Structure 1
Amino acid sequence: MRMKTFLPHANSRTYEEKVGILLADVGKLAYDAEHAVESFLVKASSSPGKRIQWINTRKFSRMIKDIQKKMSLLCNRFHECNIKSTLETPESADSSYGTTRKLKRFHSFTTVEPEFFVGFHGDVDRLVGHLVDESDDSYSLISICGMGGIGKTTLAQKIYNHSTINTHFAGLAWVSISQKWQTELVLQRVLICLVHEKKEEILEMDYDKLVENLLQIQQNKKCLIVLDDIWSKDAFKS
């Protein structure tokens, strides 16, 4: 929660290289934390009715302490980049952040591949094959579904960053939907990913203009759009 308070301001400055790198490091740390917790849960569930060995609990404790230390360093880097926390700037809720603040939940930046990736390599190759298939019976939409924590986002990241994908598609967009979403804001973020140089123009478009421009772009070039962290069928249909 502490890290999230810096994201609204940071996301408005992703055009700065050092801020983009910082956000990528934040993403990597989040996945490191998720990996630590999930590894502990897997170990616990594999030994029902038994106590986890002391050596393993010490290992996980060291992992968490390392993550906490890295988080502290990242917070220092936010300050070094003069990125303000929403806790420090109560006025950020007003117009000083403009439309950019409204996009805070729809992050879009180069995704960071996890250092450890186990069990999905065959799935990556198969899904990449489907996405670059141009035959009549090819898939124009692929859904990765399942309960939380099984690695859906990790799998999508490996596909999104795959060299074949980057060669095949002229436009790439990654948008996080989360539990709170607005269709118009999602369309804005997708378009900004695809034509970043028109960001200011896109932020002024109404819903119909956003749809029209998105359709036009997809007619002119091949695009891969990843909608991550969808929580409801309503969000998917919209």
Structure 2
Amino acid sequence: MAETVVSAVLGNVGSLAVQETTFLWGVTLEVNFLKDELMRLQGYLRDAESKQRSGSESAAILMSQIRDTTYDAENVIEAADYIKKRNMIKRAKGFMGAISRYARLPSDLTTLHEVGVEIQRVRRKLNEIFHSVERLKIDLDTHVVNESLEDYGLMHQNFQDDVDMVGFENDYKEIVDKLVEGGKMLSAVSIVSMGGAGKTTLARKVYTSSGVKQHFEALVWVSVSQKFKVIDLLKIIAKQISSDEDQSRKIDDMNEYEVAKKIRDILMLKRYLVVLDDVWEADTWEQLNRTIKAFPNAANCSRVLLTTRKNDVANHVEMPTHIHALKCLDEEKSWELFSCKALPSYRRLSIGDLDEFEKLGRKITRKCDGLPLALAVLGGYLSKNLNTQAWSDVLLGWPSTKDTQMMRGIIALSYKDLPNHYLKSCLLYLAAFPEDFNISVRALISLWIAERFIPHTPRHTLEETANNYVTELAQRSLVQVVQTSSIRGWVVKIKIHDILRDWCIEEAAQDGFLDVIDGTTTE
């Protein structure tokens, strides 16, 4: 949403204004004035956005102008900051490397005079926008709320896989039995269902079960996704089954045939399980084995576990295959999953009338058609809005569409409810990562801080605030927790569901926040 863009710029202006000294002289006043103008714009931006979404063509044009102008303003701010840094370290060795981030700035923004001229230009553009706002009759008296980090209190909780496994207990047992028992010949189990039904969650639970770990000597997990290169998948597999770090480095230099042969040589001597998660193309198995049969049938009870949304993919693997059609949750299991998310134990003590919430909650769960992702995200949203009016509003505003469109509406609702623009920017930024990618939280936090998405807050370091943001997104089920630390319980790795990632890509592109083109992100 455009408010995210303007707010991010405001954060940058605020940082500069706080750090500024007499260095910028008269330009300092201009920068501060620009900050005031942008804050004024943000104050009624929500109203403009609602007009845009209700179909106002004029408001849509205005929102586009807002985005362009805020980016111009950010360039001015960065130019002023650049000049300050240049004068502080201009004699230091390696100066050009230190300011490489500013290399994209226009060459005419390299002196104080030129910065001042550019500020005047941006201010004129803002004045034009304000006049347009008045013509559109947008409320100019909306005040700007000072957003700050809330007290997270009991936010850090254990993220249990068992919560997301609600309703899949029988499926879990059946699949484990199919993998562990049965004949000696190589065979497969294909889990097939629509997006958001819990295929990957179920497969991950099976993959990490003690029975599976004890039965198989080699375990491989690879996310295939819609766009993949055979050589890349084979290298991922080879590294997982190779215990030698030196060998792992050598794998990078191998061609497809060499990698496939190495996999074959290792797996020939072991009982293995290969999980191919999120397969889209029917001939994926053939592609992996096209140069040489990388996954041999050694008649030692080895197995393949595959997840897919497509029935033709589930049936196409060239080996005996058990198709496990994953059904949506029934009404009672839907309520169980939803209530775990919407009414977590650490919040129940503060709720006065649980019966009323259960009455509304059961009506809401029936609307979700047993789709776990919808139940989890909506439950996460309502856990932050524990009042009966908010729950009633969800029922009254329920979209008439189902499946993907219903899911998109739920995601948009949760996104809009995020407590501040910084957190919204952090979520949209996840669209920059590849599909099905396990994201290191430590690396992600460094990127968020570098992008200035994390605000300075009292009694918190930037890293602590960022960790709280990760936890907030996880509690809302907007990200999936892949791994937590055993000591402090911090989230170590996360991933974002395909449906959520697709929504973030579209929202970020519409907002001018970032574009994803053929798997490559550009900001």
TM-score by length of 1: 0.49
Greater radius of gyration (CA): 2
Report the TM-score when normalising by structure 2: 0.23
User: Higher RCO, 1 or 2 (CA under 8 Å, sep at least 6)?
Assistant: 1
